[in-house]
Amino acid sequence: MTRLIIIGGGRMAATHAAAFKAIAGVQLVGLVETDPGRRAAFAAEHAIPNQFDDLDSALAWGQFDAAANVTPDAMHYDTTMQLIAAGKHVFCEKPLATEYAKARELTDAAQQAGIINMVNLTFRSMATLNKAHEIAASGALGNIRHFEASCLQSWLVGNYWGDWQTEQMFLWRLSSAHGSKGAVGDLGIHIVDAATYAAASDIASMSPRTKTFDKAPGGRIGEYVFDANDSFIAIAELNNGALGTIQATRFATGFANELRIVVHGDKGALLLQGGAEGDKLSICQGADVHTNAWKVVDCPPVLSNYQKFAAAIASGINGDPDFARAAIIQQALDRIIADGAAPVSVLETA
């Protein structure tokens, strides 16, 4: 039996708690949450017997094997490092850290400690993405030449998920002072991982651009200054030689949360679509490349990231996506943020 604690008592922490409670062989034994009211309510809802107001107290108690780290992004490094030092297995919410150097440090520490380490890159729980990776990695598409990947949200346009101008859960995502790295940090980690996983190759080089749009008088609402990026696009070349684009935005009017990845090889192509109507993977291959015909691919169910973490602890063999993968993705995100705001050449107009 794996004894697991949840660190954090917010909305995403509730998702973690519900997922782990449903896994045979996992027992929720503790909760770390600083807010007394939220701590009591969360523990009661998920039947968690031991509650702590800080991680130090939980570590002093020590009666657990693993932790789901669902703290705010800026806290991931310190809390995860404490868990590693205590020899606890860690399932960390994305991002692993807010910069590559810290993500790499956590990766090295986890490997040296010999603990199971994974990061919750949620698209990895999609059967379609896993099947796409399998097909691309097998060589069935031939040489990968081109790819396109986009993650499209519209909560800065519509109120499908709520009113961004009044709700803290949206407002902090627009302000770097509140820990946000904008669409790059929020969506980029998912689409960069998914794009490169689907194409079965990592990024060799890229040229990014980010954009922050005017959204309110004076560029702020109350304490929230809107300086975090709203959209980004990166032209990227992969290690396999493929050239393509990776993009994400919160201004994709008409799409609540849409994923689209296309991988083109010289013997076939894949089209992955995910959104309100569900997930679908299609392939154009063989004689169909001459008629541009697409067929839907059967995608068997896969384990969720939560299930993979539990299975990794049971087997002693680390799961994927692990800390090392998260560090690779963070390196790309750091580059997008560092280089993306640079001006581009202005062309003459008539």
Domains of the chain in start order, with CATH, are 2-122+307-320 (3.40.50.720), 127-301 (3.30.360.10)
Residue type at 181 in one-letter notation: K
d(CA 263, CA 271): 7
What span, in angstroms and rounded, lies between the C-alpha atoms of 179 and 37?
24
pLDDT at 141: 98
Average of pLDDT values for 259-265? 98
Amino acid at 258: E
pLDDT digits 0-9 by tens, 123-182: 999 999 999 999 999 999 999 999 999 999 999 999 999 999 999 989 999 999 998 999
- The DSSP symbol for 292 reads T
What is the C-alpha radius of gyration for the chain, rounded to an integer number of angstroms? Answer: 21
Closest-CA residue to 114 (of 313, 332, 338, 336): 313
Residue 315 confidence (pLDDT) above 90: yes
213-240 pLDDT, tens digit per residue, is: 999 999 999 999 999 999 999 999 999 9
Mean pLDDT of 311-336: 96
d(CA 40, CA 29): 14
Contacting residues for 349 by C-beta, under 8 A, at least 6 apart:
none
pLDDT in tens, 51-84: 999 999 999 999 999 999 999 888 999 999 999 9
Residues in the chain: 350
What is the reported pLDDT for 277?
83
Cα 158 from Cα 170, distance rounded (Å):
12
Q: Across the chain, how many H-helices and E-strands are there?
A: 11, 16
Of 39, 14, 27, 251, give the one whose Cα is nearest residue 154: 251
Letter for the amino acid at 130? N
Average pLDDT over residues 103-111: 98
* C-alpha neighbours within 13 Å on the C-beta side of residue 167: 10
What pLDDT does residue 350 have?
A: 67
Number of Cβ within a 10 Å radius of residue 16 = 24
The two tokens of residue 281 are 């993977």
Of the listed ranges 279-288, 299-308, 310-319, 337-346, the least confidently predicted one is 337-346
pLDDT, one tens digit per residue, over 283-301 is 999 999 999 999 999 999 9
Are the C-beta atoms of residues 89 and 115 closer than 8 Å to each other?
A: yes
pLDDT of residue 348: 77
Retrieve residue 170's tokens. Answer: 């949206």
The rounded distance, in Å, linking the Cα atoms of 100 and 118 is 16
Give the closest residue to 16 by CA, choosing from 123, 170, 122.
122
